[in-house]
Amino acid sequence: MSTATHCPYCALQCGMNLDPAEGTTGVSVTPRQFPTNAGGLCQKGWTSAELLRTPDRITTPLLRGRDGELHPVGWDEALATITDRVQRIQAEHGHDAVAVFGGGGLTNEKAYTLGKFARTVLRTPNIDYNGRFCMSSAAAATNRALGMDRGLPFPLTDLSGADVVVLLGSNLAETMPPAVQHLAPVRDRGGLVVVDPRRSRTAALTGEPGGTQGEGSQGVHVQPVPGTDLVVLLAVTHVVIAENLLDQDYLAERTTGFEEVRRSVAPWWPERAETVCGVPAGTLRRLARMLAAASPARGGRGAYLLTGRGVEQSTQGTATVTATINLSLVLGLPGRTGSGYGAITGQGNGQGGREHGQKADQLPGYRSITDPAARAHVAAVWGVDEATIPGPGRPAVELLTSLGRPATDEVPGGPRALFVHGANVVVSAPNVHRVAEALRRLDLLVVCDFVPSETALLADVVLPVTQWAEEEGTMTSLEGRVIRRRRAVDPSGRARSELWILAELARRFGSVVRFDTDPAEVFDELARASAGGVADYSGLSHARLDADEAAKGPGYFWPVPAGDHPGTPRPFQDRFPSVDGRARMVPVDHYGPADDVRPDAPVYLVTGRVLQHYQSGAQTRRVAELNRIAAEAHVELHPLLATRLGIDDGSLIRLRTSRGEALARARWSESIRTDTVFMPFHFSGTGSVNLLTSDATDPISGMPEFKVCATDLRPAGAVR
């Protein structure tokens, strides 16, 4: 029997059918029609069922013995060990001595339950998740400016009707290939603009390198100095204002703060900006005029500005997204049909995962944990005294680096135990040397996973969990579309859902708080907890979502505040969700990366994805077909830079930053700036780029600066 579900990887959540594979206990994958993928799948989606049969699947709990090795044990022994050790740690050091780290791939039900477990059973404020590495800068900026963080506040299919789409720091052709079809009409009109230091596969869609925009062109590739995307935005906004290309009526009726923004961009005329970002002044002016001509105020079909990790994973990530929103508001785009600003969510449930309680400062429904009314509402749903709900915890980088740290007069001590769910921080965190050292300082590390990831291999206790095709639940796509995940096969071995694990641990800890294990019942509770919040799911249920899909519906866009509410695909059309209904324009300025180039590190290092792999690679590196194509890390560099440094194509090179060293094969490419090298982040060991990356963080969002740092590189055998 065929099971309709969605891909386990990115936030595009492509629709697929799972059918029993003939002669095996597995399933086969076929794409199905769904708005985001329109019947397409990428290589990762086509091969996703292979992970269900990976030979090293964890199928029983593992406990580290006196010999230092992990050994199979029963569930009772594993859970009893966790309960006993956590109780002893908290008795000696307090509730805060235990921390939880979640993941953006967990279903809404599991993300909600994890936050509830941390705050009602462990009674710790110290919970955050790997979405802090993904969407936190965009979330901080959109909440501040627009009153709501929904990655795309419009359906993805809207993009195809626009005259211009600007992608800032996003390589959709490799990260979400089925999404590219929605850009085809825009490209045909010559309106695709890609801002990226590399000529990525997405940037290549704009036409010939160095070509001018005109008849037969597909768009423009803007190739700034790494870490200067903000300058590009400030300069384009300057031109829009200076040439009176702005939407005066929209600004007067729907925004506040324009005068402050106008003054803040005044110093960034294109010629000055060119000296900082390296983008020709003429290109900056052309981009401003393209956007203005496409805007509804000037009779265009519309324009969209979209940000991705390339501009958000920065110490000025919140400022860069804010500048993007300011530009979109000056042009009168958000809330207009066929136009807007959006942030492209990366992880499968990166949107839902941050809405229902995994973040250090949030409660379900995207409520602030410091809001008395929010605390009272959620406490009533949980059946606890609101005074017992902890306050804000530490954001991800601060939390991870504080683990096991002894207290001093200057610095508070860190947690001594950590639960990890759906994350592989030993590969995915910045400056991973420091993170691995912190994990080794812990008295207890518990990891829930279905494969022996690099983080799981450091654990004291490993708990085997179900994966995507073995479980029921819901996910929320990059558009804020709530959809169903469905079970197609039985779990492997003795694997259990996190819902069961957390409920069983709560019982063993003596908690009186109810923890359901049926995903439909958990969702009903989540819906009640979210009622009245920004991300209101209260009008949804598994039954309603199932009925919609049976009727060939596309799912529901939150907020959905009632059982008969149709959902909200475009939430800003009438007003913004602020006190006065207006968007807030906030002035920002450029100050550059925390780790800039210098004589001993003269080259920029940027990071990103390759088509075949996902996140830390813990899943995709176990799929033989994908691993054959991209089996190891590489360093992309321009032949001119390579020749100057004596680096042959295909040779092993050593990269060094102030955090550490990495080794990888050189790959010559004329698609990258001569002052920049690129390395993918999916690999571990000596090829892990996060041995090199900076853990400096954005002061507002807590986002680490993955995307740019200064490096030295040379042939692996060269003497330094």
Dump pLDDT digits (tens) for 351-368: 999 999 999 999 999 999
Angle among Cα 35, 147, 568 to the nearest 5 degrees reads: 30
**pLDDT score recorded for residue 25:** 65
Dump pLDDT digits (tens) for 286-325: 999 999 999 999 999 999 999 999 999 999 999 999 999 9
**pLDDT score recorded for residue 185:** 96
Answer yes or no: is 126 within a domain.
no
The reply to whether 49 and 66 lie within a common domain is no
Q: Is the pLDDT of residue 210 over 60?
A: no
Number of domains in the chain: 4
Residue numbers of the domain that contains 167: 152-344
The reply to whether 320 and 400 lie within a common domain is no
CA distance 114 to 506: 11
The answer to whether the CB of 225 falls within 8 A of the CB of 195 is no
Answer yes or no: is 398 within a domain.
yes
Q: Is the pLDDT of residue 439 over 80?
A: yes
The reply to whether 528 and 411 lie within a common domain is yes
The reply to whether 457 and 333 lie within a common domain is no
Dump pLDDT digits (tens) for 120-155: 999 999 999 999 998 899 999 999 999 999 999 999
**pLDDT score recorded for residue 79:** 98
Q: Which of these three, 297, 312, 344, is where a domain ends?
A: 344
Q: Which of these three, 344, 372, 388, is where a domain ends?
A: 344
Dump pLDDT digits (tens) for 51-91: 998 999 999 999 999 999 999 999 999 999 999 999 999 99
340 membership: H or E segment, kind and range: strand 340-343
CA distance 162 to 291: 10
**pLDDT score recorded for residue 719:** 53
**pLDDT score recorded for residue 213:** 43
The reply to whether 281 and 158 lie within a common domain is yes
Answer yes or no: is 349 within a domain.
no
**pLDDT score recorded for residue 718:** 66
Nearest residue to 604 (alpha-carbon basis) of 491, 485, 694, 534: 694
Confidence bin at 552 (pLDDT 50/70/90) = confident
**pLDDT score recorded for residue 3:** 94
Dump pLDDT digits (tens) for 416-432: 999 999 999 999 999 99
The reply to whether 371 and 502 lie within a common domain is yes
Dump pLDDT digits (tens) for 453-499: 999 999 999 999 999 999 999 999 999 999 999 999 999 999 999 99
Domain CATH number, residue 298: 3.40.228.10
**pLDDT score recorded for residue 215:** 45
Alpha helices (H) in 75-107, listed in sequence order: 75-93
Whether pTM > 0.85 for this model: the answer is yes
The reply to whether 458 and 542 lie within a common domain is yes
Q: Is the pLDDT of residue 24 over 80?
A: no
The reply to whether 325 and 219 lie within a common domain is yes
Q: Is the pLDDT of residue 208 over 70?
A: no
Nearest residue to 115 (alpha-carbon basis) of 369, 454, 306: 369
Domain CATH number, residue 698: 2.40.40.20
Domain CATH number, residue 516: 3.40.50.740
